[in-house]
Amino acid sequence: MTAWWIRPGVRLIAAIILPLVVPAIITLLIWALPGDPAEIICPPETCGGTAELAARWNLDAGAWNFFRAWMGDAAAGEFGRSWRVEQGLPVRDLLDESIPTTLMLVLAALVPLVLGAVGSATGLIPPRADGGFHTVGLVPAVVFALLGAAYVELEYGAQSFLPGANRLRLVLGALVLGLADGAFAAAVSGVRGLFAAERDQRYVGIALLRGERPLANMLPNVAPALAGQLRARVLHLLSGTVVVEVVLRINGLGDLLWAGTLLQDFGVVLAAATAFALVSAVLLVIQALVEIAVAMWVRRAPTVRDGAAASPVVAA
């Protein structure tokens, strides 16, 4: 029986190194891309200042130097200005606008998922419904997003980026993220499978015999697995935000990452990727805490006394 603290411990360590590992990997990958932004804005063939621009953007001293400088500034909350996505705008402003939007989008998309999970755990949602959810899940997020984008554009026309239309885009984005790409179907069937497997355990049978409710008994044991599944779902949603935000033109982190990567705006890409990594790290910490809490709860639970007192029901 391995020590209970190993698994949450590993998660906490991962949560700490993630926000450092991800920007480092991204910097190496981006550096391998052919050409650089200074060449695009001021091509050496037609403009004399390429070297000067590269020096100003710290592109002339290798990947490690750029990464170190960027991390140092980022630690002080200074992310520099966007080179090409929103030329001249501080990346900090872009993050301030994008992170809340993406979090709202993901949380809104979680609502149907959580409801589905509770419904399947408690049996409110019958297994028969799974087929229907799978059919809806069939439609790729791209198609729902396309329909939503066209509808908003036609409905609001010139006003399609004012607060009213943006709220509609968020709602549509949440629905698309939550339902399409099989997200909802996977959540429901995943939780149902977990509880089904748990219900076959002996202790649940005993709990039934003792007249206790199975859910209360199963919950502590499945809590870590549930946390794991929930984290997987959120990561899946986060990954889906890139496509949904770009198609539905939502000013979120995914859209920022896509635009930054296409235009090789290194400052924006690193900031967006690090933000993603931080969200992942937070999820890891939450899962670790749940595991620790369950482990502590299990250790403090009363030990089962010897056979006679344990089963008054049997005696009756």
Enumerate residues 205-244 that contact another protein by CB under 8 A.
Answer: 225, 228, 232, 235, 238-243
| Residue 86 interacting with another protein (CB under 8 A) | yes
Q: Pick from 66, 67, 79, 83: which binds another protein (CB under 8 A)?
A: 83
With b for 16 or more beta-carbon neighbours within 10 A and e for fewer, the 107-141 pattern comes to: ebbbebbebbbebbbeeebeeeebeebeeebeeeb
Q: Pick from 30, 174, 176, 179: which binds another protein (CB under 8 A)?
A: 30
Q: Pick from 45, 202, 306, 315: which binds another protein (CB under 8 A)?
A: 45
| Residue 47 interacting with another protein (CB under 8 A) | yes
Distance of CA 259 to the CA centre of its chain: 19
Stretch that binds another protein, among 61-69, 156-164, 207-215, 302-310 (CB under 8 A): 156-164
With b for 16 or more beta-carbon neighbours within 10 A and e for fewer, the 67-78 pattern comes to: beebbeebeeee
| Residue 20 interacting with another protein (CB under 8 A) | no
Residue type, 164: G
Ramachandran category for residue 170: left, alpha or beta (phi over 0 → left; psi -120 to 50 → alpha): alpha
Residue 80 phi, psi dihedral angles, 5° rounding = 75, -170
Nearer to another protein, 40 or 314 (CB): 40
| Residue 34 interacting with another protein (CB under 8 A) | yes
Q: Which of 246, 232, 280, 315 is nearest to 23 (CA)?
A: 280
- Please provide the size of the chain in residues: 316
Nearer to another protein, 45 or 306 (CB): 45
Site string for another protein, 94-133 (x = CB under 8 A): x--x------------------------------------
| Residue 173 interacting with another protein (CB under 8 A) | no
| Residue 7 interacting with another protein (CB under 8 A) | yes
Centre a 10 Å sphere on the Cβ of residue 99 and count the other Cβ atoms it contains.
Answer: 19
Distances (CA, A) of 48 to 38, 86, 310: 11, 23, 87
Residues 6+ apart with CB under 8 A from 54: 36, 38, 60
| Residue 163 interacting with another protein (CB under 8 A) | no
Q: Pick from 48, 77, 211, 307: which binds another protein (CB under 8 A)?
A: 48
Stretch that binds another protein, among 9-17, 62-70, 120-128, 291-299 (CB under 8 A): 9-17
| Residue 69 interacting with another protein (CB under 8 A) | no
CB 241 within 8 A of CB 253: yes
Nearer to another protein, 38 or 105 (CB): 38
**Closest distance of CB 6 from another protein, Å:** 5
Stretch that binds another protein, among 36-44, 58-66, 119-127, 290-298 (CB under 8 A): 36-44
Residues 6+ apart with CB under 8 A from 82: 88, 89, 90, 91, 94, 265, 267, 268
Beta bridge pairs of residue 90: 81
Question: Rule CB under 8 A: which of 245-304 touch another protein?
Answer: 246-247, 249, 251, 254, 257-258, 261-264, 269, 272-273, 276-277, 279-281, 283-284
Nearer to another protein, 38 or 174 (CB): 38
**Closest distance of CB 301 from another protein, Å:** 21
CB 268 within 8 A of CB 91: yes
Stretch that binds another protein, among 75-83, 120-128, 207-215, 300-308 (CB under 8 A): 75-83
